[in-house]
């Protein structure tokens, strides 16, 4: 018995989005090859010397320096905890991989913030730019992390460079959003007071808005670093090196011990970076003033 055809049985036309994307990537690879080569050379120039510096300095010296910094910023308890945590990592066989990961995180985070903070200022000051940037940032934040590795491999091959650049793109959105949020939360009366004294817009921005927004901007810096650390580990899939390689190898070989050691090193690095950047944000005068205002 035949079924009666339904109006809903119409086959929708296939949208060749994948083919369009491949065509765009091929065009960019052929047309912008020198630009990508320059970007790769820049990233390699930043990452390689920093990695050599961190791996060349004795582990004990780095542990003591970071622990002393933690003691100064957060007190002796955090300093002691940092000493124990990094000392544990230094006692495992993956200290060089940890320093390589740290170098990649620092470079990717710095480049991400160099782009994210000015872009956040732009979208905070220009509502049209904000309307354009918002869906792009939504897309960047909801895109699975692994997807960022695909164009990075096409443009830059295998190695540290594609891992760092994928990390840069993946970690940018919080920096843009929290910079915009911090600037929009500045008290309008304070801005009007600065404008009433005849200050030009650029001076109001740099001398009034940005200093008052620094605590929120520093929260964005913190989030950028945390996302960069998580992505750098995933970038081990494309041969970026560091702890990502350790964890991926342990996963492939089902080596529980080495995988656990690599994971502990990532956790210690994340906690130290998180607490240090959070403490730096708390030391700005605007942060102290806001904290005193809440306590009052």
Q: What is the band of 68 on the pLDDT scale with cuts at 50, 70, 90? A: very high
Q: What is the band of 63 on the pLDDT scale with cuts at 50, 70, 90? A: very high
Report the range out of 107-111, 137-141, 155-159, 202-206 with the highest average pLDDT.
107-111
Residue 107: predicted pLDDT: 92
Residues 178-182: what's their mean pLDDT?
A: 90
Span 14-62, pLDDT tens digits: 777 777 777 887 787 778 778 888 888 998 899 899 999 998 889 999 9
- Cα–Cα distance, 75 to 69 (Å, whole number): 9
- Cα–Cα distance, 286 to 190 (Å, whole number): 13
Per the CB < 8 A criterion, the answer to whether 219 and 281 are in contact is yes
- Please check the confidence at residue 199 and state whether its pLDDT lies above 70: yes
Q: Which of 20, 163, 18 minimizes the C-alpha distance to 28? A: 20
| Torsions phi, psi for 63 (to 5 deg) | -60, -45
Q: Which of 227, 226, 221 minimizes the C-alpha distance to 141? A: 227
For 158-167, letters b (16+ CB in 10 Å) and e give ebbbbbbbbb
Q: What is the band of 80 on the pLDDT scale with cuts at 50, 70, 90? A: very high
Other Cβ atoms within 10 Å of 141 Cβ, number: 13
Q: What is the band of 64 on the pLDDT scale with cuts at 50, 70, 90? A: very high
Going from the N-terminus, what domains does the chain have, and what CATH number goes with each?
A: 33-295 (1.10.3720.10)
- Please check the confidence at residue 165 and state whether its pLDDT lies above 90: no
| DSSP letter assigned to residue 158 | S
DSSP sequence for 90-127: HHSTTHHHHHHHHHHHHHHHHHHHHHHHHHHHHHHH-H
Residues 180-200: what's their mean pLDDT?
A: 82
Per the CB < 8 A criterion, the answer to whether 107 and 166 are in contact is no
Other Cβ atoms within 10 Å of 289 Cβ, number: 12
Residue 249: predicted pLDDT: 81
Other Cβ atoms within 10 Å of 123 Cβ, number: 23
Residue with tokens 């470079």: 107
- Please check the confidence at residue 1 and state whether its pLDDT lies above 70: no
Residue with tokens 């308890």: 77
Tokens for 250, please give them: 């342990």
- Please check the confidence at residue 282 and state whether its pLDDT lies above 70: no
Percent of the chain having pLDDT more than 90? 15
């Amino acid at each position: 018995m035949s079924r009666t055809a339904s109006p809903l049985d119409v086959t929708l036309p296939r949208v060749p989005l994948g083919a369009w994307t491949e065509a765009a990537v091929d065009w960019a690879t052929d047309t912008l090859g020198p630009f990508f080569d320059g970007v790769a050379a820049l990233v390699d120039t930043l990452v390689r010397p920093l990695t050599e510096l961190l791996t060349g300095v004795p582990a004990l010296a780095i542990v003591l320096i970071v622990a002393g910094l933690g003691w100064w910023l957060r007190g002796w308890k955090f300093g002691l905890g940092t000493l124990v945590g990094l000392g544990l990592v230094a006692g495992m066989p993956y200290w060089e991989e940890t320093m390589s990961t740290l170098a990649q995180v620092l470079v990717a985070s710095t480049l991400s913030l160099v782009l994210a903070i000015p872009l956040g200022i732009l979208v905070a000051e220009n509502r049209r730019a904000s309307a354009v940037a918002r869906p792009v940032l939504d897309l960047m934040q909801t895109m699975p992390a692994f997807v960022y590795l695909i164009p990075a491999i096409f443009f830059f091959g295998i190695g540290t460079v594609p891992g760092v650049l994928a990390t840069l793109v993946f970690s940018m959105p919080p920096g843009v959003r929290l910079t915009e949020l911090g600037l929009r939360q500045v008290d309008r009366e304070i801005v009007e007071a600065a404008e009433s004294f005849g200050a030009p817009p650029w001076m109001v921005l740099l001398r009034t808005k940005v200093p008052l927004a620094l605590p929120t901007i520093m929260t964005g810096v913190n989030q950028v670093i945390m996302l960069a650390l998580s992505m750098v580990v995933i970038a081990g899939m494309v041969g970026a090196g560091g702890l990502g390689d350790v964890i991926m190898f342990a996963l492939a070989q089902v080596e529980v011990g080495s995988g656990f050691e690599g994971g502990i090193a990532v956790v210690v690095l994340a906690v130290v970076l998180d607490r240090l950047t959070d403490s730096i944000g708390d030391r700005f005068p605007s942060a102290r003033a806001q904290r005193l205002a809440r306590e009052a």
